[in-house]
Structure 1
Amino acid sequence: MEIVDYDLYRVPPRWLFLRVETSDGTVGWGEPVVEGRAHTVEAAVEELMEGYLLGEDPLPVADHWQTMYRGGFYRGGPVLMSAIAGVDQALWDIRGKHFDAPVYELLGGPVRERMRVYQWIGGDRPDGVADAAREKVDAGFTALKMNATPELRRIDNPAAVEAAVERVRAVREAVGDEVDIGVDFHGRVSKPMAKRLAAALEPHEPFFLEEPVLPEHNDALPEIASRTSTPIATGERMYSRTDFKRVFEQGSVDLIQPDLSHAGGITEVKKIADMAEAYDVAMAPHCPLGPIALASCLQVDAVAPNALIQEQSLDIHYNETADVLDYLADPSVFDYEDGFVALPEGPGLGIDVDESVVEERAAARDEDWHNPVWRHDDGSVAEW
């Protein structure tokens, strides 16, 4: 068996799908994308496929990963690691189908039967969070996540802090103490404001504070963590074991959030999860993406004892033109019940991608999503 063909599809709302075909007709799917840089990652995937993988046996996934990563003098970063991630997902999908087993069975077998999931509320500039929270809890979710703030100045006024506190307070009062509320700083908060917000939000007991500062300021995490007992989460913009090693050694992070479409795929995130377990750090994979990325996350969640909860993007504010279930022949694989999703039971990634829908939507529009550029009231660029 060898890899004979591949196709890339840019599809709404902002995703890139990879289809890899082998000489015996087996098809594997991956989701290699950096949101807002789909064209760039597409070119990187083409380089990997054309320069190395076409004509190769798809089954030695670990060796292919090493070659894709270490075979280039310049390595790492969001573009290359996302390209590798999507290819890795597709190769694991093929390997699972070849052995007629879910990927998690090839990784040692599951440690759980189902995975808890959380639901987004409130949008980019959080609004209407209390009503949205009630609606999602009524639908069966037991955990929610919301953005903490819109754009903030580097040192903002007490009203900005109080507005963030009031939003979290409103959600807590709406859903009670048995529902978990993750609060995402989205990297849009400076170090001084992160310290103030962490302390101010603590009385409402957030589930975690996500990305309180940008990864380039991870050296500030110990000080921020010292201001609160709320668990600190980060990792969606970290792309390798080396990136995570530094925060593990700091001892200031309680929850890591590697992205299966950014951090080297199943192969690398499984290793990151293992490292985290050694430091008593939980994992909640980042996944505001499509069905292939989510299915890949669940394969690692299945075998990681420290997997705590899974992000998923059904009805997320980004998905205005298409949603996760649109691209699946059998959407029931992601049926949520009591805030959980069952592990996919099918071979490979356990999903059946509807190729006709993928081709139709990719052909209908040249998908080229970019995140908004926000500005402060003085005209300078704000973190989104």
Structure 2
Amino acid sequence: MKPKVKQLLTPSPAGVDRRSFFRTLGLTAGAAAAMSPSAAAEADANFVQNNVKRASEPSKLQITDLRIAVVEKAPMTCPLIRIDTNQGLVGWGEVRDGATETYALVLKSRLLGENPCSVDRVFRKIKQFGGHARQAGGVCGVEMACMDLAGKAWGVPAWQMLGGKFRDRVRLYADTTETDDPKEQGRRLKERMDRGITYLKQDFGIGLLRDKPGMLSAPLGASVGQGGRVPHPFTGIEVTPAGIAWLSDWVGAIREVIGMEVPLSSDHYGHIGVNSCIRLAKAMEKHNLAWMEDMVPWQYGELMKQIREASDIPILTGEDIFLKEEFIKLIDMGAVDMIHPDLASSGGLIETKKIGDYAFEHGVAMAMHFAGSPISFMANVHCAAATENFVALEHHSMDVPWWETMVTTTGGGPLVEKGYAVVPDAPGLGIDVVESVVRAHLRPGSEYFAPTPQWDKQPSNDRLWS
């Protein structure tokens, strides 16, 4: 069967066909007919080459620009990345929520002239400028944009470049901040279920105990909120037996509303010591929590292992880890039941796929943390579709009414449908940014993908060896 060469041809405004092409060579119809077979074949090849569409020739694709637009209240601050090319293709990426756009801009001088189709090569060039948590945001956002561009250039979805997909829909779990009233909390979670969510997560911790006598032991004057700059083992804050019982009753009241059947995971307990973490985890066993997240900082793997070995509740961490090596350490030491990478921190699509595959080989499941715009969301969807041991992807913007309207899908379908993300078959990430919506939600004083020539040249010897 002969190849359909016509599909590769660019229509000519003059209606160029093979016969008129010969005329451009100064050949009459008779002369063309008298050509030798080899000469005719060469002329045919020249005709094809002169009419091949070059607008997405992957081997010639080059990065020509990188620009930023910062969106607020999505619900987080989200710096969006646009990478332009010499062929008119545009790639979309995103710096992790809450991070500075500078993490991406500093990479521009290292990217200009690179071919984004060589995703792994570009990633290896710039990954030295990433770090744990939000410091990885620029590197990961650029990797997303390169995957988007490579898929568009080759005409395949990002999941195909990861080796294919295991699922057509990606299960979502919805995060929910806590309220003092557990019945109200239960109603809020039930509303998530009514919208199709089949996997729940909520915050709960020592913030609920702050004004309740006898619930906490802490150095006088210490802050007992959710955050703080002091790592958990060094705060001196512990939950008393009365506090553990109160939190257990609070979760129990929620279970009465939503039932025991739906998975309920949890996060944000406060910066408490490891012994309080163990007592709290053991108290949650009767409520069958799906996981308890980041009970201590991920850097303290041995402490996390103590908690895991003391309780039957699955222990999970990973949203602030950059690259696969630290995930491998936690898995190998038996510190986690599940991993929880944030693709905008863990290294982008390819690296996160590697992380998931390593976990799969060791019997460890992978959920995915996410709290950004639909750009990063779709990068996560492609990676989740291509990772066998994937469980659920976080959806942190269910209460932001304009969130989904920031993009359109290439195929025109919805981003989210009945508690699942729809895995697209379109090239790249399968989305395009809606300018009017992004403009309407820009950070005050910022511009919509303004030029960034000040970042074109940053002289530096970046080599890591002598």
TM range (shorter): 0.7 to 0.9
The range that moved more, 221-230 or 115-124, is: 115-124
Distance in 1 between residues matched to 2:291 and 2:84, nearest whole Å = 41
Q: Is 2:155 aligned against 1:61?
A: no
Alignment of 1:201-350 (within 5 A): 201-315=284-398, 324-330=403-409, 332-337=413-418, 339-350=419-430
Give the residue type in structure 2 aligned to 1:10.
Answer: V
1:132 Cα shift? 0.6
The range that moved more, 225-234 or 326-335, is: 326-335
Distance in 1 between residues matched to 2:279 and 2:80, nearest whole Å = 41
**Maintained 8 Å contact 1:126/1:149:** no
Unaligned regions of 5+ residues in structure 2, if any?
1-60, 208-215, 219-236, 448-466
Q: Is 2:202 aligned against 1:119?
A: no
1:291 Cα shift? 0.8
Distance in 1 between residues matched to 2:361 and 2:270, nearest whole Å = 26
Tell me which of 354, 360, 374 is aligned to 2:434. Answer: 354
Q: Which has the higher contact order (CA 8 A, sep 6+)?
A: 1
Output one character per residue of 1:201-234: Cα deviation in whole Å (capped at 9) or x when no partner: 1101001111111123222112101221111111
Give the residue type in structure 2 aligned to 1:49.
Answer: K
1:77 Cα shift? 2.9
**Maintained 8 Å contact 1:11/1:358:** yes
Q: Is 2:80 aligned against 1:25?
A: no
**Maintained 8 Å contact 2:239/2:272:** no
Partner of 1:356: helix, strand, or coil? Answer: helix
Distance in 1 between residues matched to 2:388 and 2:104, nearest whole Å = 32
Q: Which has the larger radius of gyration?
A: 2
Give the residue type in structure 2 aligned to 1:162.
Answer: A
1:148 Cα shift? 2.3
1:352 Cα shift? 2.0
Query: TM-score, normalised to structure 2's length?
Result: 0.71
Hey, what does 1:167 align to over in structure 2? Answer: 250
Hey, what does 1:380 align to over in structure 2? Answer: none
Tell me which of 108, 123, 129 is aligned to 1:49. Answer: 108
Distance in 1 between residues matched to 2:295 and 2:135, nearest whole Å = 25
Distance in 1 between residues matched to 2:169 and 2:181, nearest whole Å = 30
Unaligned regions of 5+ residues in structure 1, if any?
368-384
1:150 Cα shift? 4.0
1:21 Cα shift? 0.9
Hey, what does 2:196 align to over in structure 1? Answer: 140
Tell me which of 156, 169, 178 is aligned to 1:101. Answer: 156
Is the alpha carbon distance of 1:360 and 1:99 closer, same or farther for their aligned partners in structure 2, counting shifts above 3 Å?
same
**Maintained 8 Å contact 1:133/1:175:** yes
% identical equivalent positions:
30
Query: TM-score, normalised to structure 1's length?
Result: 0.86
The range that moved more, 87-96 or 101-110, is: 101-110
Q: Number of aligned pairs?
A: 354
**Maintained 8 Å contact 2:337/2:365:** yes
Distance in 2 between residues matched to 1:185 and 1:363, nearest whole Å = 27
Hey, what does 1:156 align to over in structure 2? Answer: 239
Give the residue type in structure 2 aligned to 1:141.
Answer: I
